[in-house]
Amino acid sequence: MGTDTHISEHRAADHLISVFEAQIRSGALAEGDMLPPEREIVQTYGVSRTVVREAVLALSNKGLVQARPRHRPVVVKPGYDTALNVVQSIVGQLLDQPGGIRNLFDLRIMMEAALVREAALKATKEDIQRLKTALMANEAATGNSEAFFRTDTAFHGVLFEIPNNPVLPFIHRAYTTWLAPQWTQMPREPQRNQRNFQAHKRVYEAILHRDPDLAEKELRAHLAAAWDQVCITFEGL
């Protein structure tokens, strides 16, 4: 295939992607609807089957359709989890760059510092109880590092839920997904788990006593210590 033909097909695929994106966003193609058969798209838009398949792949990567072999693509409703899946590979490449993990972790610190302040000022009794329940589960798991990682994640997850902003739990899941490969490779040390639990407890108590300054101080100290633990395990971060 010549270069000019390749460019022409690529532009045709871009046009086709734009057409279907517009139909999906306008509601002309609703969630659960199937895209037209490949043959019909070829005839309607005067493109090749290669162009159609390239466009469908791009729509799938954008989280706008679900494409399975031997099935017509189905329109799906984009959600926060879809967004996570779409950017997963991009973030993975960023994390592989020098300082990438540290940059993401710094962003997490800034966000959680704001969240613990918010919790100390505005958490309801129900929020405090959920945080306490998560803390108790974390304490019970100090002797089992796999369970401790799950309950550690759940404790921090409550902080992202307290403001009742649907974007925040998605961000927490994203952080957990992106950083898990490093965290799960950490040595399994019950003593370290106990230290981290005690740090969680201090954060909880500061929130319980409605002290945003202390809550932020304890959270920052906890995450700084957590980063030091990671650096001991992985050189060159």
The model's pLDDT over 141-188, given as tens digits with 9 standing for 90+, comes to: 999 888 898 999 999 999 999 999 988 888 888 777 766 666 666 666
pLDDT band per the 50, 70, 90 thresholds, residue 67: confident
Alpha carbons within 13 angstroms on the beta-carbon side of residue 159 total 26
Superfamily of domain 82-233, CATH level 4? GntR ligand-binding domain-like (1.20.120.530)
The alpha helices in 141-188, defined as continuous H runs, are 145-161, 167-183
pLDDT band per the 50, 70, 90 thresholds, residue 1: very low
Question: CA 130, CA 12: separation in Å to the nearest integer?
Answer: 53
pTM summary value: 0.64
The closest of 227, 207, 225, 223 to 215, measured between CA atoms, is 207
Pick the CATH number of 3-75 from 3.40.50.300, 3.30.70.3040, 3.40.50.1010, 1.10.10.10: 1.10.10.10
| Residues facing residue 66 across a β-bridge | 74
Q: What's the pLDDT tens digit per position in 124-141?
A: 999 999 999 999 999 999
Locate the DSSP E strands across 50-193: 65-66, 74-75
Share of the chain above pLDDT 90, in %: 49
- pLDDT, residue 123, reads 97
Listed ranges 48-52, 94-98, 101-105; the one with the highest mean pLDDT = 48-52
